[in-house]
């Protein structure tokens, strides 16, 4: 089964190894691992996020099972639609844990759904790994400093929106230090307002001379952005921050192209990586794009990081598209679970409990197609972030990131330390 003869106590981050006795050696269930994956499979978030994420779960589960599963147990993956709203997802999660007795829930794109569901991990004793769920407040408490983790059995296997928006400001400071005016167009709910808050806070700290000339808050699932585009053109902004996502980002981009916005200003999309592929060659050059980490089909280069080569080629072969950052996030979630189970199981001499898996996951570092992912003591993923500029390059059917204008900002520059609120951390920086 791949287990050693030794066992250990999991004591926080320290491991005390001791010889196992027969009573301490546990059996491993013969049944498959029951995993529920939850993503948007219908609606405007399905095409750029939910379906690609679900596809990646399927691909990864097949690969894990092909290699013998986890301690010999194959993964039985069942996919569910996230599109029902927070109440529906809470009911579904309760069913997973209490009735279906799933081993793990992997899922959620919506920050609102995550905020509603993740508390159930401790309430009901079920392991939940949030694979996207970008809001920084999910794991943070109201004041700094605070004790971590917030949830004993709840994790996020990716970094939060802090890296996107701090990274964008650092990129603007590096490549466009002379700008004077910025604007924002962000969806009018927690995700959009939190994204702008972090961006604006970092901008005031790193580039205090820059003036905010316009802030727009369209409703989620807006279909007509023409008035917003006109207002942005008239604002005189040189760079426009946006956390628009899903169908909203595609609709806005297409309407902005037709109205000439991209001839007047550069957009800075906080999670813009999927949209050049979604829009195609009409997508304008020169736009700032964040990859929600270093999640990009051309990075790390395939000759330097074979795991990304495998992932991109396997995904493209199976689905005829390149993996978006949602796919990389799905990989991180399922392989974080696998690594935590294997670490805990090797320590306790058999199949671990949910609590032992949780302790093993805290502080874990794993190789992913994007590089190294670390799960902090606050149960948040810690990642570097990749920012670039869109450019049309021969041989590609949509604009890619200009290889000469890509920048990687390391994790310590964009992730707040555990126990410190993101805004408080930014305000503590020395100018």
- The full set of domain ranges for the chain reads 31-159+304-380, 161-291+384-414
Instruction: Please say if the pLDDT value at position 161 is more than 70.
Output: yes
Instruction: Please say if the pLDDT value at position 178 is more than 50.
Output: yes
Q: Report how far Cα 240 is from the mean position of its chain's Cα atoms.
A: 22
Q: Roughly how many angstroms between the first and final C-alpha of the chain, as a whole number? A: 54
Instruction: Please say if the pLDDT value at position 169 is more than 70.
Output: yes
C-alpha–C-alpha distance, residues 349 and 2, integer Å: 10
From residue 337, alpha-carbon distances to 61, 70, 85, 254, 344 in Å are: 11, 10, 25, 39, 11
Instruction: Please say if the pLDDT value at position 180 is more than 80.
Output: yes
Give the pairing type, strands 385-391 and 288-290.
antiparallel
In the chain, pLDDT over 90 holds for what percent of residues? 91
pTM for this model (two decimals): 0.93
Give the pairing type, strands 104-107 and 33-39.
parallel
Q: Give the homologous superfamily in CATH for domain 161-291+384-414.
A: Response regulator (3.40.50.2300)
Instruction: Please say if the pLDDT value at position 7 is more than 60.
Output: no
pLDDT at 285: 98
Beta-carbon count within 10 A of 258 CB? 11
pLDDT at 431: 67
The neighbouring-strand residues paired with 19 are: 6
Tens of pLDDT along 373-405?
Answer: 999 999 999 999 999 999 999 999 999 999 999
Instruction: Please say if the pLDDT value at position 181 is more than 90.
Output: yes
Tens of pLDDT along 348-364?
Answer: 999 999 999 999 999 99
C-alpha–C-alpha distance, residues 61 and 225, integer Å: 40
> CATH says 31-159+304-380 is which class?
alpha beta
Beta-carbon count within 10 A of 326 CB? 29
From residue 395, alpha-carbon distances to 54, 391, 398, 400 in Å are: 28, 12, 9, 10
Query: Which sign does the torsion angle of CA 274, 275, 277, 278 carry?
Result: positive
Instruction: Please say if the pLDDT value at position 19 is more than 50.
Output: no
From residue 359, alpha-carbon distances to 10, 75, 120, 343 in Å are: 7, 21, 18, 10
How does the average pLDDT of the chain come out, rounded? 93
Confirm if 136 and 359 have CB atoms less than 8 A apart. no
Q: 31-159+304-380 and 161-291+384-414 share one CATH topology? A: yes
Mean pLDDT calculated for residue range 41-48: 92
For tokens 């310590």, the residue is 412
**Per-residue DSSP letter, 395:** T
Q: Give me the helix-helix angle, 226-235 and 246-259, nearest 10°.
A: 60
pLDDT at 25: 73
275 confidence band (pLDDT: 50, 70, 90):
very high
Determine which of 18-22, 299-303, 418-422 has the lowest per-residue pLDDT on average.
18-22
C-alpha–C-alpha distance, residues 90 and 87, integer Å: 5
Mean pLDDT calculated for residue range 155-166: 98
Q: What are phi and psi of 122, to 5 degrees?
A: -80, -40
Please give the helix or strand (H or E) that residue 153 lies within, else none: none
Instruction: Please say if the pLDDT value at position 144 is more than 70.
Output: yes
Give every CB contact of residue 134 below 8 A, 6+ residues apart in sequence. Answer: 111, 160, 161, 164, 191, 195, 271, 292
pLDDT at 26: 84
């Amino acid at each position: 089964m791949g287990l050693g003869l030794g066992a250990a106590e999991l004591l926080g981050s320290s491991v005390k190894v001791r010889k196992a006795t027969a009573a301490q050696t546990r059996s491993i269930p013969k049944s498959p691992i029951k995993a529920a994956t939850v993503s948007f499979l219908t609606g405007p978030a399905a095409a750029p996020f939910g379906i690609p994420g679900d596809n990646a779960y399927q691909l990864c589960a097949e690969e894990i099972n092909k290699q013998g599963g986890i301690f010999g147990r194959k993964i039985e993956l069942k996919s569910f639609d996230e599109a029902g709203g927070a109440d529906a997802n809470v009911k579904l999660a309760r069913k997973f844990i209490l009735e279906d007795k799933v081993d793990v829930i992997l899922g959620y794109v919506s920050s609102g759904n995550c905020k509603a569901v993740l508390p159930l991990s401790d309430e009901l004793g079920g392991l939940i790994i949030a694979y996207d769920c970008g809001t920084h407040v999910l794991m943070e408490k109201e004041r700094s400093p605070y004790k971590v983790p917030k949830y004993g059995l709840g994790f996020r296997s990716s970094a939060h929106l802090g890296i996107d928006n701090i990274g964008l400001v650092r990129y603007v400071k590096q490549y466009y230090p002379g700008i004077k005016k910025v604007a924002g167009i962000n969806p009018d709910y927690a995700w959009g307002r939190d994204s702008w808050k972090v961006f604006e806070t970092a901008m005031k700290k790193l580039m205090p001379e820059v003036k905010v000339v316009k802030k727009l808050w369209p409703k989620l699932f807006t279909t007509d952005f023409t008035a917003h585009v006109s207002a942005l053109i008239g604002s005189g902004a040189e760079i426009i921050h946006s956390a628009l996502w899903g169908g909203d980002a595609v609709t806005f981009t297409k309407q902005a192209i037709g109205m000439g916005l991209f001839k007047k200003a550069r957009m800075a999309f906080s999670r813009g990586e999927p949209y050049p592929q979604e829009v195609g060659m009409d997508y304008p050059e020169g736009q700032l794009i964040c990859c929600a980490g270093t999640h990009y089909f051309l990075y790390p280069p395939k000759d330097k990081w074979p795991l990304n080569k495998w992932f991109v080629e396997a995904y493209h072969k199976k689905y005829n598209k390149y993996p978006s950052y949602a796919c990389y996030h799905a990989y991180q979630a399922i392989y974080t679970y696998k690594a935590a189970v294997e670490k805990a199981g090797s320590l306790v001499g058999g199949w671990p409990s949910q609590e032992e898996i949780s302790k093993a996951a805290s502080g874990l570092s794993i190789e992913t197609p994007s590089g190294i992912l670390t799960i902090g003591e606050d149960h948040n993923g810690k990642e570097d972030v990749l920012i670039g500029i869109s450019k049309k390059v021969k041989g590609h059917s949509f604009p890619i990131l200009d290889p000469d204008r890509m920048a990687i900002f390391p994790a310590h520059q964009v992730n707040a330390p555990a126990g410190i609120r993101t805004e408080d951390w930014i305000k503590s920086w020395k100018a």
